[in-house]
Structure 1
Amino acid sequence: MAATLLIMTVGAAACGVGEGGQSDKTTQNRAGTMDEQQATKRAEEIIHQAVDGMLPKPNLKRIGPTPVGPCLADDDSSASGRKQVALTYQLTDVPGSEAKRLLRHVRDAWVKQRYTFASPDADWNDPYPEIYMRTPTDDFWMDGIIGPTNKETGEGIAAISVTSPCFAGGAGTPSEVNPAALRTSPGASDAERRVLGHSSRIYEALGVRHQPQAGDGVGRVEDGADVLMHHAWSTVPLSREARRGAMSRGRDSLGGAGWDVRVLPLESDEEMIVARHPVDASLARVAASADGSLRVAVTAVEHDGARPA
């Protein structure tokens, strides 16, 4: 149903937020003095705290070519130029039957570090449990999920992500505002953070300015038992050549990040990109609009227990 909605509809981790949705001054001060190198080093430390000592020992396969992107939870909707680090790794080269045990090891390792749960602990009776945690001292957000590979046998691939607080980056201008640079509420769901994160990476790949239009923003859709988060936005109108160049960059970026990408021909002699994320099954769509702009839509399923406490 999510795929149908994504094709037919045209239409962050929070940073500096402490327990109970209140601003944590200690966290903000640390994030304010952090730079890209420090944020990356700390994110990698949290990753290795989770996986070091695992048996069988997995290989870390990074999802996505770059760890740094725009801050997805700015204090306002203007271009502040702040950045944040986001690292995602699949735990590969181990039997698919070991995915749940590896994810439990991740949970236990982070608990040992006195990191806290951002939502209730996983339902370990579920064949594909999920965990959402944060570091209370410096406000890095982490999650761990399992991407199913064989639902009949319960096999899958575990993946873990770490997202830093926001830190100072290069200045931007209003015309360069990332459409994913929206203020998220303290209770924003993991699905909302995911769609904004994926939108941010697509925006960077297209390399084209965003132009606000009616229907932009994040929406929550209930479809039977499923709850979907949907983020839609548009670029400025482009020439045919520029549009094709942007589409090519978007396709290559999604494919390089491990998305399952399909290019579908349209009656207008244009193409539409439809892609599925290899880990969280989010869906992305990029297609030309009648005015020559590119319309982007990202949809993710909001799983039970994925909303931070």
Structure 2
Amino acid sequence: MDEQRASARAEEIVHQAVEGMSPRPTLKRTGLRPLGACVARDDGGPDDRVQYRLTYQLTGVPGSDAKALVRQARDAWVKLGYKFQSEDGDWSDPFPSVSMRTEPDDFWMTALTGVVNRAKGEGLAAISVTSPCFAPREGSTADSTAFDRTQADERAEQLAVAHSSRIYDALHVRHAPAQEGDGISVYRDAEGTYVHHAWSAQPLSEEETARALARVRTYFESAGWTVRHVLAEAGVPALVARHARDESVAQVAPSTTGAVRVAVTTPVVPVESASV
């Protein structure tokens, strides 16, 4: 495992929890963060392993629905065979939480309700996923330099994931299991630094794909993106769109397997140069 795979798997676990929710929340990512030292090795030697945590707030729904969202996350994970860390949540509590883990890869996740207005019973649901400890590979981005994140890096990451989440909402299709290259990555070229967020939807028929891409095009146009069609290997043309304000580029492309591939690339802009 490396940072990219940990991020992709954590993203998958979050989407497994939310894709069937009603009312459907908007995902607000609060970051992928390195945690403190992992549990010491059995031999007592130094432990250079790393561990990451991904957190999303479930926004855009009434505060009175927060408890229901947490329970729906629990139900989705139970259906997938994931295990409770301890007892099930206390559903008599207006602000419950539940802690579970995946098998066999042992990611830990929590769905909880933060208090917004205790008197009215209103809360804010959130999901947090923590990776198991893993040793950074030689040449991997998951080393000590990866922890030196700037405010500009975080802003670009938040923008890329926010755009990606809105595309997910517009597509209105199920999230596919994570694959190689999914999740957040950062790359650099002669012109600058970019944050890249990628994922795939589950395979669709050609007719379903056409309808899904039409919904995304409608979203792009209503949100002020510049959109064009490009030829794709599948029968339905892909969409490439550019966001005028932050210069993000989104690609929504059908594949020959029927899966729809989504990728958003956002440039890292120095904070002093970014528009407010």
Normalised by the length of structure 1, the TM-score is 0.44
Q: RCO greater where, 1 or 2, for CA within 8 Å and sep 6 or more? A: 1
Normalized against structure 2, the TM-score is what? 0.48
